[in-house]
């Protein structure tokens, strides 16, 4: 019997940004394929996704507000990368159409919301790293993950978790795409910290950065293991 190694696609603005995600996925036993806008923008989606079993959408620059029907707020300090938006939206559509497992982190979760027709808050204060005594310290806060979330059995439990906070954009219920379900939120201000698609088997979005393993509970590493396992199931199911 042929053994089909599951390949997980990791999208990123560049190779440096992808490094931590590659490390955690390879530690979980997955083979990875990194897609960046340079060199991949003109390649057909089917070609980019050939033989893959899972998709990891990573953190990175801000999403172009034009994609959710708004003009950029000049005070929001936006850092845009439209080629990355376009690349991620098409590989995400490919994955969703096939019910491929998707893990969407930080910007990835925001992109998931935009792809489903939602909007974003262009600038959220007090959620980014701050400089303390000359050193950058990631902000942190407490989130509540609902017991009904698909992420809960993957992580190993639901409830309250202290996690890192490295984003300056986000969403609340008013911006959420109606087809997505809120599975986690920030206890203090109600910002959405988790999104999932009820229409798909395994589409999990989280606002925090679990790949920065020292800044989140150890259990969050199970998300990468879970994505790898689902990618293996997907690959063996569709292997010919």
Q: Which of 211, 215, 229, 232 is catalytic?
A: 211
| Whether residue 209 lies in the annotated active site | yes
Burial class (CB in 10 A: 0-12, 13-18, 19+), 89: middle
Contact 164, 209 (CB under 8 A): yes
Dist. CA 55–CA 205, nearest whole Å: 12
Say if strands 7-11 and 31-35 run parallel, antiparallel, or are unpaired: parallel
- C-alpha closest to that of 197 among 97, 64, 63, 127: 97
**Other CB atoms within 10 A of residue 82 CB:** 13
Say if strands 135-137 and 159-165 run parallel, antiparallel, or are unpaired: unpaired
Dist. CA 230–CA 174, nearest whole Å: 31
| Whether residue 211 lies in the annotated active site | yes
Q: Which of 167, 209, 228, 232 is catalytic?
A: 209
| Whether residue 106 lies in the annotated active site | yes
Query: DSSP of 128-184, one letter per residue?
Result: S-EEETTEEE-EEEEEEE-TTSTHHHHHT--EEEEEEE--S-B--TTTS-TTSEEEE
Report, as residue numbers or ranges, the catalytic residues. 106, 209, 211
């Amino acid at each position: 019997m042929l053994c089909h190694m599951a390949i997980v696609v990791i999208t990123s603005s560049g190779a440096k940004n992808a490094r931590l995600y590659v490390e955690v996925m390879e530690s979980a036993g997955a083979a990875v394929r990194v897609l960046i806008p340079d060199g991949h923008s003109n390649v057909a989606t089917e070609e980019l996704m050939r033989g893959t079993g899972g998709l990891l959408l990573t953190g990175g620059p801000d999403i172009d507000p034009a994609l959710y029907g708004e003009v950029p707020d000049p005070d929001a300090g936006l850092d845009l990368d439209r080629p990355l938006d376009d690349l991620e939206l098409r590989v995400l559509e490919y994955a969703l159409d096939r019910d491929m497992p998707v893990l969407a982190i930080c910007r990835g979760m925001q992109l998931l919301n935009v792809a489903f027709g939602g909007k974003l808050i262009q600038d959220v204060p007090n959620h980014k790293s701050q400089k303390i005594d000359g050193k950058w310290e990631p902000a942190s806060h407490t989130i509540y993950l609902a017991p009904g979330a698909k992420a809960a059995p993957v992580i190993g439990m639901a409830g309250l978790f202290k996690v890192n906070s490295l984003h300056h954009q986000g969403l609340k219920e008013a911006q959420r795409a109606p087809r997505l379900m809120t599975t986690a939120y920030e206890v203090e201000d109600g910002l959405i910290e988790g999104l999932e698609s009820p229409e798909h088997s395994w589409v999990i979005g989280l606002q925090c950065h679990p790949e920065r393993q020292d800044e989140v509970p150890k259990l969050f590493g199970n998300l990468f293991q879970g994505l790898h396992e689902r990618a293996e199931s997907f690959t063996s199911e569709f292997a010919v």
